[in-house]
Structure 1
Amino acid sequence: MKFFILQLTLWLVAQGALAQGIVRGSVADEKNEPLIGASIYIPETGTGTITDRLGHYSITTAKAGSYSVRVSYIGFETQTIPVTIADGAITSLSVHLKAGGVQLADITVTGGLERPMNTLSHVDIRLRPVNTSQDILRMVPGLFIAQHAGGGKAEQIFLRGFDADHGTDINVEVDGMPVNMVSHAHGQGYADLHFVIPELVDYVDFDKGPYFADEGDFTTAGYVDFQTRNKLDHNFARLEGGSFGMGRAVAGVNVLKRARSNAYIASEFTRTNGYFENSQHFKRFNIQGKFNTQWGERTRLSLALSVFDSQWDASGQIPDRAVDSGLITRFGSLDPTEGGGTGRINMNLRTSHSLRNGGTWENQAYAVRYNFSLFSNFTFYLNNPVDGDQIHQQEHRWVYGYKTRYSQTSTLGGMRLQTEAGAGFRYDAIDNIALSNTVRRIFIRDFKRGDIREGNANAFWSETLWLTPKFSINAALRFDYFHFDYTDRLNAAQPGSKRRGIVSPKLNFNYQATETVNLFVRTGTGFHSNDARVVVEQSAKETLPRAYGMDVGADIKVTPALIVHTALWRLDLDEEFVYVGDEAVVEPSGKTTREGIDLSVRYQLAPWLFADADLNVTRPRAKGVPEGEDHIPLAPTITSIGGLSFRRQQGVNGSLRYRYMGNRAANETNTVVANGYFIADAIVNYTRPGYEFGLSVENIFNTAWKEAQFDTESRLKDETDPVSEIHFTPGTPLALKVRFTKYF
């Protein structure tokens, strides 16, 4: 066996040594904006690749000669360009694509560097109507969200068998800035995306598992990185109105349009009473500006500033028994003074410089001002029979960060070698982070109050070697170093700090078997960090719990109109974080393992009609406990989303979509079950060159469903003994929304 492996390796290296030419360049649209994830394919050699986040690509030929390079991108006209490659030479080829119709036939199944394929996001964002930042998160196949605090709180996230709470096991970024808040007042990794104006999202980069050297903390189940537009195609103004007092106004205007520079500003205001008996009084305000310029021929600069503020009331999570007894309706409340407010100011500077050796050097610096205040009541009168258990969680923080990244394509023994290296730091200065007991938002006493200083320095190195033009190996290493510091304001004698480091290796394989089949194997480790207060005060055993993952899968273009992505995977964690409802905290609960299968299908039924479906099946279990007591509370086991989309350049377009989540265990023994649901939504638009009318219908069958569920021990005011059962937030009933958009 060892001899066979050695012979195979020598043969692959020998084949790779024949590689004599490299084609590299960039792909952009007619306005010179980079097209991320465009496909580049050489039919004569059967090799392909995709453009990176700057629109750059590099592809190897087997030998010198004449070739045709086919460049395609969903929503653009495909181009085929003849090139002649000299022996040992690098040929430059930059392409500008013209906008066209959405055709799956334009897609070539190819592998990227560490990421085998992310075509799904390009298809979905062009076919699925996007109305809120929540809709954007749902672009990730298998990702579900649940809102359970009045619309202003970050959504609960479910992915790959994780109840990731608000972000413990998924890394979320916007334009390279972190969304996850470490050591947050409400939960570790808290990721609030409501500062994103959905109309400004240009591209969604996502993937699953801990296999990516440039993705750090919280990248266990996966990551999502949103890129906002560098320029607006048109000035626009949109008005929306709907059920339950919903109203929204959003507008975007180009304020600078020159050959080498552009800038725009956009703003959004949303308000709604919500479908609860206790009005949400929800209000959200966003404003964002972005400036882009080309310095010389080699340097691009982007500067962005945004401001976000949100206020709301909430009905909270209510117990089944309160509804069953008739004490309240399913849209009622036991503590109508829940709610909160949050705000965020982002400052973001990014540069990219094309070096003379063909490499690229990127730099980014950002600063975030963030505040958070949340009133909740999970247990009612369990702990305080007189005043009640309402709690207030709050914090104020600054986040400062810097990233640098270098990438270059070269050759090693005649084989193409892609090198990427980067480093950075993030520093969180968190003041007055507190958990307090309140009554009707009036302070009673502190449970915890203090200040946190948390730093994360990191570096990574990634090498991708093409042993043959079709077969590549990616080996990478990431190092993260954390410094945790916590000062307890209630006990000044107990300030403390801890330091921890972690190394995360990755090893990925990619083989493009044919133009229609791409195979991959991914392995690696990642981690999610623990809360600084737990690390310092409790000397947590697992400060940076490690995750071990493996994916084996394929991307297959079955027919020109049918694309299938599938993967078998496993992920093991050294420490699981589980939500504890009666304390409103996240606690460690030991080692876990998850195994599953992901299946995604995209099918074009007609030039204007598309079908899609995602099915995700997972078996999540705790390790080291008896069988039958090893369920992971609220971890999803089966989820599916899908629908039909119809799209014409002008006229009627829209979609009919469904979401399904199966029943799941709400406790370790599966004796309490969180019920699943099936929800259908519909959107119809009428589009003309200068305007658009739209109608959205949520929950078209008016299903009574539970959006968020927890097995929580609580006591109502007149009860003598506590009861542990499902507490839930009801999902939206049938709701209508109309909108009008003017382009100018």
Structure 2
Amino acid sequence: MNNIDFITLTIPRLTVLAALLAWYLPALGAGMPTLEVIEVKAGSRDLIGVADAASVGTITARQLENRPLLRPAEALEAVPGLIVTQHAGDGKANQYFLRGFNLDHGTDFAVDIDGMPVNLPTHGHGHGYLDLNFLIPELVERIQYQKGPYSAADGDFSSAGAAHIGYRRSLPQDYVSFGMGSNGYRRLLTAADKEVAGGGRWLGALEVFHNDGPWDVPEHYQRLNGVLRYSDGTRNNGQSFSFMAYDGDWTSTDQVARRAVEQGLVGRFGSLDATTGGTTRRLSASGQWARLEGEVQTRANAYLVDYRLNLFSNFTYATDAVNGDQFEQADRRRYGGFGWSRSQPVRWLGRQGDFTWGVQGRLDDISNVGLYKTQARQRLATVRSDSVNQGSLGLYGQWSAQWNDWLRSVAGLRHDRYRFKVDSSLSQNSGNTSDGITSPKLSLIFGPFANHEFYYNWGQGFHSNDARGATISVDPANPASAMQRVPALVKSRGQELGWRAAPAPGWNMSLALWRLDLDSELLFVGDAGTTEPSRPSHRQGIEWSNYWTPREWLTLDADIALSRARFRDADSAGDRIPGAVERTASLGVAVHDQGPWRGGLRLRYLGPRALIEDNSVRSASSLMLNLNLGYKLAPKQQLTLEVLNLLNRKASDIDYYYESQLRGEASPVADVHSHPAEPRVWRLTFIQGF
């Protein structure tokens, strides 16, 4: 039996359970004092009295400082149940797993930094591409996250969840850090801030990075990364302007067919194409403005990004016996947008509450999103080359009301409108289309009752599809073959029952039973340049998260997530969703400022997954133990040691099952293709403060 077959989260059952809670909890709470609304402080996840769901939270800089990180995006693993891996070179966007999803490179999980969205629609490598390699973890002040489609303020890509990353406005001290480690790891980071006349502050940071990795073909990943930021006032009553620049270049070792390793053609860290890899660049300017006037909070933001990527991959090796199967995916775009919202007290239906409404707009001007046949990074032929103009406008409103001492509600409504214009190298695939979608939301919060709070959440969301799939008529690789268009916008529906408790001082616990239905899975075939219509799906699961600070200097956290993912329609191929994660867990211990010492130890588990619809081929699980240990040499000098994969376990970061053809094989062969997790890695960093 599946580990959560006992969970039957149908809409009627959840509705009945919510009604029972509404009837039962007033009696439970009789005579119990209502908790005061609290402020979430550094190092705390205590959201009782202020949270709208069990699966929301705030991660602070203090929680991140002792987390060992192999890659920048792994800062998101502080979100309970989220796993970050890689299936190719480290300059490429990561692989994300959450709530029964293999999110590929970011689809259905939305991320922004200071209000600037990072996910890229209609991208050369995959719709919703989420590249966080320009993130500087030391600058992160907080990460606010929520899971499920329950927030009216979150639109595209947020059906599984969203994370809002906020950078610091000031630093505890100016510093420079020098890092070195195994496999050619080198990192220089310097950051400083300065107060100027009028009370504003300038903050600047520069990162220079190099790493070869354990690969037989050295990765030579180099990145140059910079941030310049001006801020004045606070997040709720002030403004900030940020300029960011990132440039990356790398050689990639893509996933390798298992039979190639077993036959001794390559080693575990070997490559079947030594010229894959890529280059990418990102320049951005963004600003945020906020005013708090009495009880009225107004916010606005705007951003402009220039982005480019050239990515060379080879996943099937040699079905073309002459030139090989390498291909290039190119993306050139500028995108910009804005957001505005206002929240204020409103009395309605005889109840006092808060009403928030807002508007969000975005325009992606993609001069070229292309797919090319290549050999050793030299273009041989164009499969397709398109220019795309894609715009969206979202309007939303949300009303939060306190009905009595034990019941409050949040009701929201969002409407999004999209417009797509595609000019393709194949005229048959050019076209214009538009679509709109309305997404209602509802949350009921019962309590607090003696440090307990209960939640029922229901909501509809959506994800967009690649614009090229919404206008396609013929297969770019075979123009004589007709293609079926995909809907521009696909609806999702989610529900959740949650419980949050504070069983003891410093201990915050949450439990969530959830379900999510999609009208269609997103399936972009990057090496063919097509978006294929896929099957409707159903996911459900349970998550249990704990965060405990038994002492001021000691923090413990533990998260377990179980999920079940199935296609909803009947198909002889089977009902499993390939790559859908079934079990994840993490356990962490952090020690803060014990004399000159500090540190963190983290255990991360990624469970097995079906790799094919009939479940006949499955991936193995992986278990990683990582260490971060810091020692203060002097008041402004610190030495930090990180050891990743401390137990040196042999595991895969990702597994796929598909057909490929090695040199010498007469025809393609179905096989498991894996990208190994890196073996034990050590990194030593010296920090000098000023």
- How does the TM-score come out when normalised to structure 1? 0.84
My pick for the range that moved more, 707-716 or 537-546, is: 537-546
1:231-281, CA deviations, whole angstroms, 9 ceiling, x for partnerless residues? 112111111100000000001111334562111111101101111010111
Distance 1:704 1:595 in 2: 30
Name the residue aligned to 2:253.
315
- For 2:471, the aligned partner's letter is V
**1:113·1:464 contact (CA, 8 Å) conserved in 2?**
no
Cα pair distance change 1:119/1:457, threshold 3 Å:
closer
Name the residue aligned to 1:614.
559
Distance 1:225 1:423 in 2: 17
User: Is it true that 1:700 corresponds to 2:611 in the alignment?
Assistant: no
1:567-617, CA deviations, whole angstroms, 9 ceiling, x for partnerless residues? 000000000124658747663321000010001112335443332111100
1:671 maps to which of 616, 631, 640: 616
2:201 maps to which of 234, 252, 262: 262
**2:559·2:587 contact (CA, 8 Å) conserved in 1?**
yes
1:701 positional shift = 1.2
- For 1:634, the aligned partner's letter is G
Name the residue aligned to 1:714.
660
2:356 maps to which of 411, 417, 420: 420
**2:434·2:488 contact (CA, 8 Å) conserved in 1?**
no
Distance 1:429 1:199 in 2: 32
2:304 maps to which of 351, 359, 367: 367
2:514 maps to which of 561, 569, 584: 569
1:107 positional shift = 4.4
CA RMSD in angstroms comes to 2.7
Name the residue aligned to 2:7.
none
Name the residue aligned to 2:445.
510
My pick for the range that moved more, 203-212 or 687-696, is: 687-696
Cα pair distance change 1:586/1:156, threshold 3 Å:
farther
User: Is it true that 1:519 corresponds to 2:454 in the alignment?
Assistant: yes
My pick for the range that moved more, 256-265 or 723-732, is: 256-265
User: Is it true that 1:250 corresponds to 2:250 in the alignment?
Assistant: no
SS at match of 2:264: coil
1:634 maps to which of 544, 561, 579: 579
Identity among equivalent pairs (%): 31
Within-5 A mapping of 1:277-676: 277-294=216-233, 300-355=238-293, 358-382=295-319, 384-412=320-348, 415-488=351-424, 490-492=425-427, 495-538=430-473, 540-578=485-523, 583=528, 587-625=532-570, 629-648=574-593, 650-676=595-621
Greater relative CO (CA pairs within 8 A, separation 6+): 2
SS at match of 1:483: strand
1:410 positional shift = 3.6
Cα pair distance change 1:336/1:586, threshold 3 Å:
farther
Cα pair distance change 1:6/1:133, threshold 3 Å:
closer
Runs (5+) with no aligned partner, structure 1: 14-42, 52-71, 76-103
1:197-237, CA deviations, whole angstroms, 9 ceiling, x for partnerless residues? 11110000111100000000011110011000111121111
SS at match of 2:447: strand
Name the residue aligned to 1:73.
41
Q: Which protein has the larger Cα radius of gyration, Structure 1 or Structure 2?
A: 1
1:304 positional shift = 0.6
- How does the TM-score come out when normalised to structure 2? 0.91
**2:258·2:672 contact (CA, 8 Å) conserved in 1?**
yes
Distance 1:493 1:474 in 2: 46
**2:54·2:512 contact (CA, 8 Å) conserved in 1?**
no
My pick for the range that moved more, 254-263 or 455-464, is: 254-263
Distance 1:298 1:657 in 2: 34
Cα pair distance change 1:613/1:481, threshold 3 Å:
same
Distance 1:233 1:433 in 2: 42
SS at match of 2:453: strand
- For 2:562, the aligned partner's letter is V
Distance 1:636 1:236 in 2: 40
Cα pair distance change 1:145/1:700, threshold 3 Å:
same
SS at match of 1:118: strand
1:743 positional shift = 1.5
Aligned pairs, how many?
A: 659
- For 2:243, the aligned partner's letter is L
Within-5 A mapping of 1:679-690: 679-687=624-632, 688-690=634-636
1:6 positional shift = 11
Runs (5+) with no aligned partner, structure 2: 1-14, 474-483
Cα pair distance change 1:555/1:298, threshold 3 Å:
closer
SS at match of 1:181: coil
Within-5 A mapping of 1:29-48: 45-48=33-36
Distance 2:552 2:236 in 1: 40
Name the residue aligned to 1:162.
101
**2:37·2:49 contact (CA, 8 Å) conserved in 1?**
yes
User: Is it true that 1:206 corresponds to 2:145 in the alignment?
Assistant: yes
